[in-house]
Structure 1
Amino acid sequence: MDRRFLEEQLAAGRSLEQIGALVGKDASTVGYWVKKHRLTAAHREKHAPKGGLSRSALEADVERGLSIRSLATAHGVSEATVRHWLRKFGLQTARAARMQASEAAHRSEKEIVEIRCLHHGMAPHILESRGSFRCTKCRAKWVAARRRRVKAILVAEAGGRCQLCGYSRYVGALQFHHLDPTEKAFSLSRGGVTRSLEKARQEAAKCALVCSNCHAELEGGAATLQVDRASSDVAFR
């Protein structure tokens, strides 16, 4: 193949495959002539061997919880290359380790086992009804967050302030006081807001939203409520 032609094509940034398509030759044939004319193929650096990965760097990234895809991006190599070096160094991603530990836990038929969590490190995991293990610390955190979300929704729907004194600064200081204790199905405290939102709403409809101070006075008999059933207005009496 003509050297000048190859120089022009390579200078234009065309790959060996693209040049081969132009002249009806295989890319390997084009590569042969590029090498023979002592030219440099386009994208050579991209396809050049990258060399091995450092065990210490790979180990540190695995410890950080990076996935195979993230490891490949971080080290500028393919996912297959990452898998190769993980096997060579005897390393596992956090996900692979959790899957292996979970499978071992299932075989042991235990309901609570120690498995590494991405957020909490080694922590107890409980077998849930869906058949998978879940970190108890993550589970507790999720439950607490849901309680806060449901409480915020109920408080907002009830007016967002104490119906007796008007306090509204902190949602956590607002509570639900049952107007008729005989109609109380459950308490809208920590346990109550773990129920479905619809059931919590039904229970909140039986209550007056009050602050903790007013609630204490109501429970202690220092204050009472006067309820107008027709208008749902609530006031001290």
Structure 2
Amino acid sequence: MRLLLIEDDICLAEVLVESLSDYGYIVDVVHDGEMGWEQAIRGNYSTILLDVNLPKLNGIKLCQRLRSRGYTVPILMITARDANIDKVIGLDAGADDYMVKPVNIIVLMARIRALMRRGKVAAETNLVWGDLILNPSSHEVTYNEKNLDLTPKEFALLELFLRSGKRLLSRPAIISHLWATGDVPSEEAVKAHIKYLRKKLRIVGMPDDFIETIRGLGYRLKSDN
């Protein structure tokens, strides 16, 4: 799941990105309202985390602009303002939820999950490929009832393959799906993640060539599965 964080406090943004990444989210970050507008309409996000006090275009006006253009992605406002009238203004501007700083990470995660369910982007059925089952909501993977212990990036990589089916995925395509803007790894790093994912799949009994390498082009799931 890809999130957009619009926050001008760079230290806070770094803390939030680290915490959200630990939970398996891909996070793009911008630091003013105008950049937030451009990134929001250009990207494909599950949720936007929006500070109110932003330079160039504040969070209230940005939220109003997005909603006036028919933008339906859930928006969670994060602000130091805790007066009831401030919450009312934020919700009336089109925000779906409102949190007051300092942010409790566990509560933030619960709020994000709730918004995604409300937006019908997270309440999904399992992804199944033979005896391999991936649950997008609980972040659990099993093969023949054996649990796989995957890192967040390995889980996201396997989820991408399962959603893509037999479609070929190039390394640049994988990078664009699974890494945040400005945090682009080398293609060798992608190869390493796939290597470790294959190893863990092999340990629970998956075929060695479950994820096929198409030389010079990319990767796909084995056609005869």
Query: TM-score range with shorter-chain normalisation?
Result: under 0.3
Higher Cα Rg, which structure: 1
Higher helix proportion (structure 1 or 2): 1
More strand by share: 2
Give the structure-2-normalised TM-score.
0.23
